[in-house]
Amino acid sequence: MPGDLFFTDNSGFDTLRLGFSRLSFEDIEIGIKIIGETINEMF
């Protein structure tokens, strides 16, 4: 989810909001792995 939606001063365009309170530990691990792989590909 874009992080800028959670800023009242029109900032936050270089942010990312992660919601994980309703996920299982296994799903969180999978998601973190995907995010890490994506970041490695980008940089």
Domain limits, the chain: 3-42
At residue 38, the pLDDT reads 95
**Global pTM value:** 0.62
Q: Which residues pair with 2 in a beta bridge?
A: 16
pLDDT at 24 > cutoff 80: yes
Cα 19 to chain centroid distance, Å, stands at 7
Average pLDDT of the segment spanning 4-14: 78
What are the DSSP calls for 1-43, one per residue? -BGGGG-SSS--TT-B----TTS-HHHHHHHHHHHHHHHHHH-
* Tokens at 13, concatenated: 């365009």
At residue 31, the pLDDT reads 93
- Cα distances from 43 to residues 1, 11, 31, 39, in angstroms, run 21, 24, 18, 6
